[in-house]
A and B are shown apart, each in its own frame.
Chain A
Amino acid sequence: MATFQRHRLTPWILLAPQLAIVAVFFFWPAAQAVLQAFYVEDPFGLGRTFVAFENFTRVLASAEYYRALGITVAFSIGVALGAMALALLLAVLADRVIKGAHAYKTLLIWPYAVAPAVAGVLWMFMLAPELGLVSAWLGALGIDWNHQLNGGQAMALVVMASVWKQMSYNFVFFLAGLQAIPRSLLEAAAIDGAGPWRRFWTITFPLLSPTSFFLLVMNSVYAFFETFGTIDATTAGGPGGATRTLVYKVFEDGFVGYDLGSSAAQSVLLMLLVGLLTLLQFRYLERKVQY
């Protein structure tokens, strides 16, 4: 790569805005979070005492934390699998019809632009007890829907709203991945007598694995963090903590419960978790994926 070499000051001028913003709004708060995790703040915010790892042991010993962890895992699996399976099915169909694939893409892409909180509100209306259309349909089937009381249904609500929004993102990638698969491979298999089902599982699906893996990571990150808006606008972690994910718990303990030390410790644990996921993505899983 050719470069400018004799300019000593220019690169620093160019970098200054980015470095300043990152320092003030990223490193400083991240360092604060780490520091805070080792202190206990007194309830009036007047002082704090160093407690070493007590915040962590307290968090890791609480049943609430493991419950939130379990809920986060269940929620992420639900969202990632739901959004990916649905997107893959539709992408495969859109890919095979050829005529209209582009039109379907245009018509399916827009939910991606809808804010998670707005998606949650739209679904909450459809499933509102007494008022909602879908909850009325479910009622006719004998299912008494009330996500304000039933934890499982509250979870289903946020999963559906999140899947609805995320599906279009996955669809775009799966369609692009499918269109990149050489037609000759599929034709050869067809001539050898493989039916559509067999062709999909032995050719298409393995060739899509890089896309699928990338999407799995993106969907997990989405389910972990971006769905905060969906959860807060619809169930607010309830009923009885049935939709309280790890991120929601950080928010709740920090801003509602004012337990700053615990909230910070949870933040640090989350950072470690995300770091681990990223590492896993780069080091381990990527090699196993067939290209």
Chain B
Amino acid sequence: MRYRRPGLDIASHAVLILALLAFCLPVWLAFTAATHDQASLYTSTAPLWFGDQGLGNFRSVLSEPVARLGTDVTRLLLNSTVMALGIACGKIIIAILAAYAIVFFRFPLRRLCFWLIFITLMLPVEVRIMPTYKIAADLNLLNSYAGLILPLIASATATFLFRQFYLTVPPELLEAARVDGAGPWRFLKDILLPLSKTNIAALFVIMFLYGWNQYLWPLLITTESDYMTIVVSLKRLLSSADNLVPWQAVMATALLAMLPPVAVIVLMQRYFVKGLVDAEK
């Protein structure tokens, strides 16, 4: 191209690499801090290099009950995994079915159902938090996996995306299937689901992150450490009334809390980007 300027290219790379380093700095510092013991952390400013604890802090938070939490981080990771998988799978399943009904069937009140579902896109859980909490309490859902998962499934993002995708499926497919004598369930199972594979993968990534990173809802609904999620536990670790914050344990826990979602996003990056860009349409 005529307008390329090599000098600008080098400057661009330099700025990008600087930005990358700056973006990694918080995580790098967390990692180095997690390899020190508390005494050496508090002698000077945060170290830029590893300490003598190796992965010892990780091992201890994973295997022994952590002070202020009353449980070990392995349990918290398990809770977060159950919650994130529950939300991702639950949302995808009910969304596939509901979008299928709305796009491929004609029935009375169809438009009303459509609006009832899609109006939920507008109001995130934070806005209706008090009454939702009350209802969860009435239904005996406090401190349970169902309580962590169900209320967060009640939004239509996934349904909306599946609807958008189904609308692009050529009508000839349905006609051909009908001519061949396939009923609605058969069409869903043998034709529609195989076609939606990439959409399902993309949504899975987005919903897994959404579920894993939830904060307010799990904070309210879990009072027992047996059901606490790892993201929520950080605040508990930090709130020290009398003694010093155990930064090495906090940082080890924070890194463990970000490892699964970051792994998911890096491994499934292709689907994730597609899912994001589709969500825009």
Total chain B interface residues with beta-carbon distance under 8 A = 103
A22 x B216 contact (CB < 8 A): no
A-contact bits for B258-281, CB 8 A (1 contact / 0 none): 100110111001001100110010
Instruction: Find out whether the CB atom of B3 lies under 8 angstroms from the CB atom of A267.
Output: no
- In the complex, whether B171 has a CB less than 8 A from a CB of chain A is yes
- B127 part of interface (Cβ distance < 8 Å): yes
Instruction: Let me know if A29 and B128 touch, CB within 8 A.
Output: yes
Contact A233 B20 (CB under 8 A): no
Interface bits B190-234 vs A (CB < 8 Å: 1, else 0): 000000000000000000010011011001100000000001101
Stretch from A54-62, A72-80, A182-190, A283-291 contacting the other chain: A182-190
- Determine which of B8, B98, B151 lies in contact with A18 in the assembled complex, contact meaning CB atoms within 8 Å: B98
Rounded to whole Å, the gap between the CB of B122 and the closest CB of chain A is: 5
A36 touches B130 (CB 8 A): yes
B69 in the interface (beta carbon within 8 A):
no
What's the nearest-Cβ distance from chain A to residue B279, in Å? 9
Interface centre among A1, A28, A114 (most CB of B within 10 A): A114
With beta carbons under 8 angstroms apart, the residue of B104, B124, B280 that contacts A173 is B280
Task: Contact check, A18 vs B129: say whether CB atoms are below 8 A apart.
Answer: no
Residue from the set A17, A100, A133, A255 with the largest chain B CB neighbour count within 10 Å: A133
Q: Give every chain A residue within 8 A of B29 (Cβ-Cβ).
A: 122, 125-126, 133
Q: In chain A between 78 and 97, which residues have their CB closer than 8 angstroms to a CB of chain B? A: 86, 89-90, 93-94, 96-97
B235 CB contacts on chain A under 8 angstroms: 117, 232-233
For B133, the chain A residues whose CB sits under 8 A away are 255
Closest to B152 in A: A25
Within 8 A of A (CB), among B163-193: 167, 171-172, 174-175, 178, 183-185, 187
State whether the Cβ of B1 lies closer than 8 Å to any Cβ in chain A: yes
What 1/0 mask marks residues of chain B from 73 to 110 whose CB sits below 8 Å from any chain A CB? Answer: 00000000000000000000111011011111111001
Contact mask A176-217 → B, CB, 8 Å, 1/0? 100000010011001100001001000000000000001000
| Contact between A225 and B124, CB atoms less than 8 A apart | yes
Selected contact of A232 from candidates B20, B106, B159, B219, CB within 8 Å: B219
Q: Are B107 and A2 in contact (CB under 8 A)?
A: no
Q: Does A44 contact B (CB under 8 A)?
A: no
- Chain B residues lying within 8 Å of A10, measured Cβ to Cβ, are 101, 105, 184-185
* CA A275 to CA B123, docked complex, whole Å: 8
List 25 A-B residue pairs with CB atoms under 8 Å apart, sorted by A's residue number: A3-B104, A7-B105, A10-B101, A12-B107, A15-B102, A17-B94, A18-B159, A24-B150, A26-B123, A26-B155, A28-B131, A32-B131, A33-B131, A100-B16, A106-B266, A109-B269, A113-B209, A113-B213, A114-B261, A115-B215, A115-B231, A117-B215, A167-B23, A229-B215, A232-B219
